[in-house]
């Protein structure tokens, strides 16, 4: 059964976790898990586009993932670079607009250029907004926003008492998108792992034991079905949300 359009999330944010365990279960090197995860990502981007979901934000590499063995980090960078190169024209042709969030300066010039290229050739697309979080951390995002706000205060364009949730939200990443409606984490862990800390305040959280390489259209449908069954109250009572009380 398809989740109906009115109960579809506009913005889905995913922590793509479990590649390493997927490979281990098959006695394969972790690299094989990351490659399989890459193929899953292609399918999920396509599936979200087909369902007319407006925005998809994927956690590909956290600011903490640098702590992994050098070989694995190198492999992930290589996969990222090659993946971008191979996918950019099909993303462009499928009306996907690509963006990245995270501290880019840590990446090679080649990779930074490829990211800029993907953003510029898809800039005019008005279909799915695909954002890839790389060298991203939720705390980094909040600190970065604080620096922007502090600079505005220092320059005299903003008074400290005028700092608000609205202008802070404008300073964090993804400020031009609605906040994620649905968060999905594959791989069985029930934690946020420093993902979109500011943005997830009222997001519906869905955790599945399915390892990311096994996450597919059916699994996505299950997550959407979960979402369709939630009552989002945003602090109100259930009756208020149902329109029974003012």
Q: Are 16 and 58 in contact (CB under 8 A)?
A: yes
Please give the Cα distance from 221 to 208 (Å, whole number).
12
Decide whether 17 or 114 has the Cβ nearer to Mg ion: 17
Decide whether 79 or 158 has the Cβ nearer to ligand IPE: 79
Shortest distance (Å) from residue 160 CB to ligand IPE: 34
Please give the Cα distance from 197 to 174 (Å, whole number).
12
Please give the Cα distance from 146 to 212 (Å, whole number).
33
Q: How many residues bind Mg ion (CB under 5 A)?
A: 1
144 in active site: no
Decide whether 190 or 244 has the Cβ nearer to ligand IPE: 190
Is residue 241 classed as helix, strand or coil in its secondary structure? helix
Selected from 11, 13, 14, 17, the binder of Mg ion by CB under 5 A is: 17
65 in active site: yes
CB nearest ligand IPE: which residue?
Answer: 20
- Per-residue exposure over 119-143, b if at least 16 CB sit within 10 Å of its own CB, e if not: eeebeebeebbbbbbbbbbbebbbe
Q: Are 100 and 131 in contact (CB under 8 A)?
A: yes
Q: Is 59 in the site for Mg ion (CB under 5 A)?
A: no
CB nearest Mg ion: which residue?
Answer: 17
Shortest distance (Å) from residue 187 CB to Mg ion: 6
> Which residue out of 19, 25, 43, 65 is catalytically annotated?
65
Residues that bind Mg ion (CB under 5 A): 17
Catalytic residues: 17, 65
């Amino acid at each position: 059964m398809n989740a109906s359009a009115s109960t579809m999330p506009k913005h889905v944010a995913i922590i793509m976790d479990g590649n390493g365990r997927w490979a281990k279960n098959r006695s394969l090197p972790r690299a094989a898990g990351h490659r399989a995860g890459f193929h899953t990502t292609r399918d999920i981007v396509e599936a979200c586009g087909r369902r007319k979901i407006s925005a998809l934000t994927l956690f590909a590499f956290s600011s903490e993932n640098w702590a992994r063995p050098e070989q694995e980090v190198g492999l992930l960078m290589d996969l990222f670079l090659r993946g971008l190169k191979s996918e950019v024209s099909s993303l462009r042709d499928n009306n996907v607009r690509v963006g990245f969030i995270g501290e880019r300066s840590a990446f090679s010039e080649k990779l930074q250029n490829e990211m800029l290229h993907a953003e510029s050739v898809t800039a005019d697309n008005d279909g799915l907004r695909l954002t890839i979080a790389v060298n991203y951390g939720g705390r980094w995002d909040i600190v970065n926003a604080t620096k922007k706000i502090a600079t505005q205060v220092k320059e005299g364009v903003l008074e400290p008492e005028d700092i608000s949730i609205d202008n802070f939200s404008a300073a964090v990443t993804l400020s031009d998108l609605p906040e994620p409606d649905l968060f999905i984490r594959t791989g069985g862990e029930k934690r946020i792992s420093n993902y979109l800390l500011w943005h997830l305040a009222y997001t519906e959280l869905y955790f599945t034991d399915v390892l990311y390489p096994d996450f597919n259209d059916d699994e996505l449908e299950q997550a959407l079905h979960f979402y369709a069954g939630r009552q989002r109250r945003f602090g109100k009572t259930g009756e208020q949300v149902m329109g029974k009380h003012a």
